[in-house]
Amino acid sequence: MAKRALCIGINNYPGTGMDLQGCVNDAGDWAAELAARGFKVASLLDDQATKAAMLKAMGDLIAKAAKGDTLVISFSGHGTYQPDTDGDEADGLDEALCPYDLQTNGEALTDDEIRNLFLTRKSGVRIALISDSCHSGTVTRAARAEKDADSRPRFMPMGNWLPDKLLPKNRSGKVAATMSGPAGSSPLLAAYSNKLGDLLLSGCKEGPNNFSYDARIKGRFNGAFTYYALKALKTMKPGATYADWHEAIAKYLPSASYPQSPQIVGSAGARKGKIFE
């Protein structure tokens, strides 16, 4: 039974004015932890993490996996929305992850694309998904200002990368200032399969006005979720379950500095599974 992982971290988003600072550190931290637990780890950092490269890396990881194998995919970077083009979204929006070339190539990695990749897996392949990004309903070109200059949401407004002609319009025909996204809207959640025993850990609740924060903690930039998830993991005894881990993370988040509530999604069996086994 093989153990493989893909760790993605993107700080730089050319042309968007929305660079982050802790995502590459996140990817390195997850990679180091997983390697120490016997995983063969591949990483995509900044300009390596184009949309094409992300699709290929995820596809290769899944294609090589056989029954009994465990896969872990971590993503640290911006999340976004974009108008749905195939009519499968009730709210008219596709949820998406933001690759490095989001603005220069003009394409996000949508929930539909990720789900289609996951459907190619062989029977008996277990996947744990770790998402340190966020999704909101904002369309405007500037993210909301934060009181703490060392902290900002990991959400990419559509207006920062899509041309006006493709942005949702309000009743007057002008670009909408805000939109409400539904609960349960994340590309990693869309890829997750309860029936196949997947486990999803995310840095915040789904839906509007819930954010994962890019933060500086003890002089170093990280995602707040990644930092505290790994801190909590170090306290876990051998044989600890994902449910145990999530409970330990909840001792740190939400906090006054980072008002985000990490989520665990999975069947009872998946939650009771041993961490990264």
Active site residue 246: no
Catalytic residue from among 23, 98, 134, 204:
134
Q: What is the DSSP-derived secondary structure letter of residue 143? A: P
Phi, psi of 134 (to 5 degrees): -145, 165
Catalytic residue from among 7, 23, 78, 135:
78
Q: Per DSSP, which regions of the chain are E strands?
A: 3-9, 40-45, 70-76, 79-83, 93-97, 109-110, 126-132, 152-153, 199-202, 213-217, 220-223, 263-266
Strand order in the sheet with 220-223: 152-153, 213-217, 220-223
Q: In whole angstroms, give the CA distance from residue 201 to residue 124.
A: 20
Distance of CA 161 to the CA centre of its chain: 18
Cβ–Cβ under 8 Å, residues 160 and 141: yes
Active site residue 98: no
The radius of gyration computed from the CA coordinates of the chain, to the nearest angstrom, equals 18
| Active site amino acids | 78, 134
